[in-house]
Structure 1
Amino acid sequence: MKIVYFTHSLASCWNHGNAHFLRGVLRELIALGHEVQAYEPEGAWSLANLLEDHGPEGLDAYRDAYPELRSESYGERGDLARMVDGADLVIVHEWSEPDLVARLGKLRAQGAPFLLLFHDTHHRAVSEPEAMRAYDLSAYDGVLAFGEALAEVYRGWGWGDRAFVWHEAADLRHFHPPAVERERQGLVWIGNWGEGERTKELKEFLFRPARETGIGLDVYGVRYHETAKATVRRYGGRYHGWLPNAAAPDVFARHLATIHVPRRFYTRLLPGIPTIRIFEALASGIPLLCAPWDDAEGLFRAGTDYLTASDGADMTRQLERLQADPDLRVSLVRHGLETIRARHSCAHRAEELLAIVTRLRSSRAKSRGVPTEAVHHASTEPELRSVA
């Protein structure tokens, strides 16, 4: 099967969390024997910021970790017909420009044979619903939503059973425990500051507990203005700037624990959707503590895969408990890895995507009188082997 994916950027993970998952799932599809091609727009702001801050060397970690991946850039009026020629499946990410989304839909409406899916991994469907409903998805075959709460929004917009839950996951080819354990010290937090939508939560669940336990705190991320950097320093933390996601496993391996502090959109408006950092941290074998979030879909085992804290004081107590109990740390790592390996790898998501394709093709075939056995064979048998 030939798969074409339109992303904001495959090369850059600078404030672009979808690149984490996309790299892993495309790699798994390639490993299954499918032909995969990724496209990203010229001048993508994530890549532009990365190059401005770090130069071409900022891409080294990605290239070293994902040698089989590449992407092709396109201009404002790129030849979309050429780009999707021969495709069986085309996926368009939510960060794509509305004009691109509409033009691809027009090709589909004019009879292009590929399945066309919209992939949403953001909160704009609830934080900016009118902006999202302005996207012309009328000719799309389905929506891939990164959580049940988001899929339910699309069902409310009339997508019904064509709104599919497709969670993010960990790339186990890259995110795994270190081959040889070394001394671990302190707490690490990898996350972007953003627009202040979780400043209060960061102070309560990360900065104050780290200072009160004296555990030491290393912070990585982008979009930290001077006030934000001063806040990190005031609580005794060390700010290190941007971290290539490909380098995250090594950073996790040097630290005693990490903390998940969700953005408010994912605790209030889209409950049950974890960030990809939960998947990646558990896959890397580092004990994880979580600020309050509702695992409404039962993706993990709270208290077994990770520790939870109801407020800042509780987070301080949990950190002290974790520091003092090596057996607890071992148990958390073991169970967290167990859950990820059983349910939440990019290999799992690749298989889920292929199952969605089979379902959509079967629905289309029934309306045309095509035997479903032929549809299943065409959906799962690889035709070519290539790179993205």
Structure 2
Amino acid sequence: MRVVIFCHSALSDWNHGNAHFLRGVATELAARGHEVRLLEPDGGWSLSNLLADAGPEALAGFHAAYPRLAPERYRLDALDLDQALDGAGLVLVHEWSDPALVRQVGAHRRRGGRYALLFHDTHHRAVTDPGAMAAFDLDGYDAVLAFGEVIRELYLRRGWARRAFTWHEAADTRVFRPLPGVPGEGDLVWIGNWGDEERTAELHEFLLGPVRALGLRARVHGVRYPEAARRALSEAGVAYRGYLPNFEAPRAFAAHRVTVHVPRRPYVLALPGIPTIRPFEALACGIPLVSAPWRDAEGLFRPGEDFLVARDGAEMARHLRAVLGDPALAAGLAARGLETVRARHTCAHRVDELCAILSALGHPVPGVGGCGPSAPETPVLSGTCPS
């Protein structure tokens, strides 16, 4: 099957977490023998910032980490949809796309396109900026893929889409996996962007305060840290290391003993059941995780077993002290978190779910058995799916 994915960027993950999951899904589809075409706008802000921050060598790192992917850049005013979508069986348009592109692809489908057309939403704007989401014209789309049940329900309740399915993000376990033998470099690592004031107070309470109180050797990676944030990190004794390519995160996890999850405020207050992709990736790397509060409304994990939950900064400090002081506790958390991800939350699981969704929409995936497991070391013929 030929799959076409329109996204803001697959080349760049600079302040662009949507790239993480899309890279994993595209790789999994390609490993199953599907022809995957990734299209992103030329001059997109994430790629422009990546090149300014990390230089062109960042793209060499991407190609080494994702050898099956070859993203193409397009200009919307010169995009030939007849050519781009020729022979497609599935077209997926991510919500961080230009509304004009979303509308044009829907119109192309209405003119006789025989492919399945899905809109993929992995952001909190449906709650925090509903006007922006209502501007998307989804006429011609078969359904919405929403990264949480609360988002799926919003699309249906507000009449933005006729059909919608919950399709959570997950870990790309080809990239995110334990790396034994990496030399230790510190106690705690946190990977994330400052957050446009969406979690400033939470970072002070659940990250900086506990690190300072316990005197931990801690490191932070991320972008868009204002001067005040960098000063706060320094005062807490936290080393700020700037941008880290997402595909290098497993090595950073392997070099540290624990990590934390600090969700942005919109997810805690209005989007229960959506943890974002960071916990999936950390747990897939086999590192103990302690999380600030979020409600696992959809039963994705086993809170208290796969990771510990801290209700406030004082409890975060107690949990971190316990994990760092008890090797058996740390090993048990790491093992159970890894077990849950591998059993339920890999990109392979999500591609299986995608195949089931396509069948429900009347677009069964070609190949014996519909969509079987990938064979990463044994290529299959394009247009088939291993049994």
Q: What TM-score does the superposition give when structure 2 sets the normalisation length?
A: 0.93
Matches within 5 A, 1:149-168: 149-158=150-159, 162-168=163-169
Deviation at 1:182, TM superposition (A): 4.0
Match of 1:42 in 2: 42
Cross-structure match for 2:33: 33
- CA deviation map 1:56-91 (0-9, x unaligned): 012232221111111111112211121011101100
Deviates more, 1:300-309 or 1:58-67: 58-67
- Whether 1:250 and 2:251 are equivalent positions in the alignment is yes
Partner in structure 1 of residue 99 of structure 2? 98
| Secondary structure of the corresponding residue to residue 159 of structure 2 | helix
- How far apart are the structure 2 equivalents of 1:15 and 1:181? 26
Equivalent residues in 2 for 1:193-232, closer than 5 Å: 193-232=194-233
Instruction: Confirm or deny that 1:108 pairs with 2:106.
Output: no
Distance 2:302 2:144 in 1: 28
Letter in 2 for 1:20: H
One-letter amino acid of the structure 1 residue matched with residue 69 of structure 2: L
Letter in 1 for 2:62: Y
2:345 aligned with 1:350: no
Code of the residue aligned with 2:232 in structure 1: it is: T
- For residue 368 of structure 1, what is the aligned residue in structure 2? none
Q: Distance in 2 between matches of 1:158 and 1:377?
A: 36
1:102 offset after TM fit, Å?
0.2
Secondary structure, in 3 states, of the residue corresponding to 1:158? coil
Higher helix share: 1
- Three-state SS of the structure 2 residue aligned to 1:88 is strand
Tell me the distance in 1 between the aligned counterparts of 2:366 and 2:255: 48
Partner of 2:382: 384
Question: 1:222-371 maps to which residues of 2 (within 5 A)?
Answer: 222-361=223-362
The aligned residue for residue 128 of structure 2 is: 127
1:89 is aligned to 2:90: yes
Structure 1 residues 58, 279: CA separation in 2 closer, same or farther (over 3 Å shift)? same
Work out the CA distance in 1 between the residues paired with 2:184 and 2:252. Answer: 12
In structure 1, C-alpha distance between the alignment counterparts of 2:276 and 2:125, rounded to whole Å = 15
Letter in 1 for 2:382: L
Could you tell me which amino acid in structure 2 is paired with residue 10 of structure 1? A
Matching residue's letter, 2:127: V
Q: Structure 2 CA distance, aligned partners of 1:9 and 1:379?
A: 29
Question: Which portions of structure 1, spanning 4 or more consecutive aligned residues, are displaced by more than 2 angstroms?
Answer: 157-161, 179-185, 374-383
How far apart, CA to CA, are the structure 2 residues paired with 1:385 and 1:66? Answer: 21
Displacement of 1:300 after TM fit?
0.4
| SS, match of residue 361 in structure 1 | coil
Q: Distance in 2 between matches of 1:201 and 1:346?
A: 29
Look up the equivalent residue of 1:270 and give its one-letter code.
L
CA contact (8 A) 2:144 2:161 kept: no
Hey, what's the Cα distance between the residues in 2 that align with 1:361 and 1:52?
45
In the alignment, which residue of structure 1 is the partner of 2:377? none
Structure 1 distance, partners of 2:16, 2:113, is 30
The 3-state SS of whatever aligns with 2:362 is helix
- Deviation string for 1:255-296 (max 9, x for gaps)? 010000000110111111011110000000110000000000
Contact 1:358 1:376 in 2 (8 A): no
Is the 2:65–2:175 contact (alpha carbons within 8 Å) kept by the matching residues of 1? Answer: yes
Q: Which residue of 1 aligns with 2:51?
A: 51
Deviation at 1:97, TM superposition (A): 0.1
Paired with 2:161 and 2:103, the residues of 1 have a C-alpha distance of: 21
CA distance in 1, matches of 2:366, 2:73: 32
Shift of 1:160: 7.4
Q: Which amino acid aligns with 1:215?
A: L
Contact 2:2/2:383, CA 8 A, preserved across alignment: no
**Cα separation, partners in 2 of 1:179 and 1:323, compared to 1, 3 Å:** closer
Residues 181 and 376 from structure 1, CA distance in 2 versus in 1: closer, same or farther, beyond 3 angstroms?
Answer: closer
Cα offset, 1:376, TM superposition? 8.4
Which has the higher mean CA deviation after the structures are superposed, 54-63 or 128-137?
54-63
| Contact residue 361 and residue 375 of structure 1 kept, 8 A | no
**1:225 deviation in Å?**
1.4
Which letter does structure 2 place at the counterpart of 1:301?
R
Q: CA deviation at 1:383?
A: 6.5
**Do the aligned residues in 2 keep the contact of 1:358 with 1:375 (CA within 8 Å)?**
no
Contact 2:138 2:161 (8 Å CA) reproduced: no
CA drift of 1:235 comes to 1.2
Alpha-carbon spacing, 1:43–1:181, altered in 2? closer, same or farther (3 Å): closer
Instruction: Say if 2:162 is the partner of 1:176.
Output: no
Letter in 2 for 1:384: S
State the SS of the aligned residue for 2:37.
strand
Q: Work out the CA distance in 2 between the residues paired with 1:160 and 1:97.
A: 18
Distance 1:25 1:303, change over 3 A: same
Distance, in Å, in 1 between the alignment partners of 2:144 and 2:13 is: 23
**Mean Cα displacement is larger for which, 198-207 or 170-179?**
170-179
Aligned-residue identity in percent: 55
Shift of 1:161: 7.2
